[in-house]
Homo-oligomer: A and B are copies of this chain.
Amino acid sequence: MQMTYLEAIADAMRHEMRRDDNVFMIGEDIGTYGGAFKVTKGFLDEFGAKRIIDAPISEAAIIGSAIGASLNGMRPIVEMQFMDFITNGFNQVVTVAGTTAYRWGLPVPMVVRGPSGGGVGGNPFHSRNSEAWFAHATGLKVVCPAFPDDAKGLMIASIRDNDPVMFFEHKGLYRKIKGEVPEGEHIVPLGQARVVRKGTHCSVIAYGSAVHMALAAAEALASEGIDIEVVDIRTLVPFDQETVFESVRKTGRALVAHEAVLTAGFGGEIAARIADIAFQYLDAPVRRVAAFDSPTPFAPTLEQAVLPNAEKIQAAVRELCNF
């Protein structure tokens, strides 16, 4: 069935809520209003106010109570109205959720999800890509889908997972990306990258919105005779080192791309791993394309300038291929 990225996420959550009474949702304005982006439109009617909880503006209490509920056998899905507001519940995520399995051997099967990313005039406080913080926090799985079918399959896998999952939806993809999505049960296991375009000259390793930039770059580069492979890593934690390794071994060149700011971003992790495990196969430096190290600015001229895009990826690939 053709679905937008947003519909695929809603479909996954609806599927799981129908299937398992222990799944419930908590967040701001997710009930009557159906969420700021209308991801949970119709959920209140179908599942009632006990399972679709409109919470006060208290991110720490929202996440903390979800952790408590998950310790008591539930599988909460927490919506952050914007992923930016996770900074208000940060302590709950990294201090409590991310350490519980290690300390107590108890599962915290919670999904924290919401819109992240820029490119839509969101301003510095509605555009952040913060996935790397959580990848560096221990005990948290980190998921960044790029396509509707993955968004659905990864969401179902995340809800069923026994560990806390940070699920980053890219708000720019919500209604822009449409694709075929399997109906009913559809699971994409966490920890598996996906080669979304086969190619021979250079591997572009990306996730989230950057996968689409890479695919656009691939089209443009193809006309120049440069044939790139695009690997969508899909989940940052667990990280599928094998698939990345296979691709780089084959192409001998690696470009890492993400929308988050460059410094200490997850691209550093990917590039470092490539420079370690695939070193002898490399014919060129490992390079990264990412956002400039600034908050995401509001005015479209500035925002476009600082964010990565297909052209920047093209230019970098060209450099690597001419190395």
Q: Which residues of A contact B (CB under 8 A)?
A: 84, 87-88, 90-91, 94-95, 98-99, 102-103, 124-125, 132-133, 135-136, 138-139, 236-237, 239, 256, 260-261, 263-269, 271-272, 274-277, 279-280, 282, 284-288, 293-295, 297
**Judging by beta carbons under 8 Å apart, are B265 and A271 in contact?**
no
Q: Is A285 a contact of B275 with CB atoms below 8 Å? A: yes
Contact yes or no, A124 B136, CB < 8 A: no
This chain's copy number in the assembly: 2
User: B133 touching A136 by the CB < 8 A rule?
Assistant: yes
Give the contacting residue for A91; candidates B88, B139, B279; CB below 8 A: B88
Residue pair B87, A94 in contact (C-beta under 8 Å):
yes
Chain B positions within 8 Å of A263 at CB level: 135-136, 237, 239, 269
- Taking each of A99, A269, A284, which has the highest tally of chain B beta carbons within 10 Å of its own beta carbon? A269
**Alpha-carbon gap, A91 to B86, bound state (A):** 9
8 Å CB contact of A136 from B237, B264, B276, B287: B264
Please give the distance in Å from A202's CB to the nearest CB on chain B: 14
The listed residue (B102, B103, B125, B271) touching A268 by CB distance below 8 A is: B271
Cβ–Cβ contact B124 & A103, under 8 A? yes
> A56: shortest Cβ distance to chain B, in Å?
17
Q: Across the interface, which residues of B come within 8 angstroms of A295, CB to CB?
A: 98-99, 102-103, 138-139
**Also in contact, A268 and B279, with CB within 8 A (given A99-B124, A132-B136, A136-B261):** no
Closest residue of chain B to A60 (Cβ to Cβ) is: B88
Q: Are A269 and B279 in touch, CB under 8 angstroms? A: no
Q: How far is the CA of A293 from the CA of B137 in the complex (A)?
A: 8
New contact pairs (16) apart from A133-B133, A275-B285, A279-B286, CB-CB < 8 Å: A87-B91, A99-B124, A132-B132, A132-B136, A132-B264, A133-B136, A138-B294, A237-B263, A239-B263, A264-B269, A271-B275, A271-B276, A272-B272, A272-B275, A272-B286, A276-B288
Q: Please, which residues of chain B bring their CB within 8 A of the CB of A239? A: 263
Identify 26 residue pairs between A and B in the complex whose beta-carbon atoms are under 8 Å apart, listed by A's number: A87-B94, A87-B95, A95-B125, A98-B295, A102-B295, A103-B124, A103-B295, A132-B136, A132-B264, A138-B293, A236-B264, A239-B263, A256-B272, A264-B265, A264-B266, A268-B269, A271-B272, A271-B275, A272-B275, A272-B286, A272-B288, A275-B275, A276-B288, A277-B285, A279-B284, A279-B286
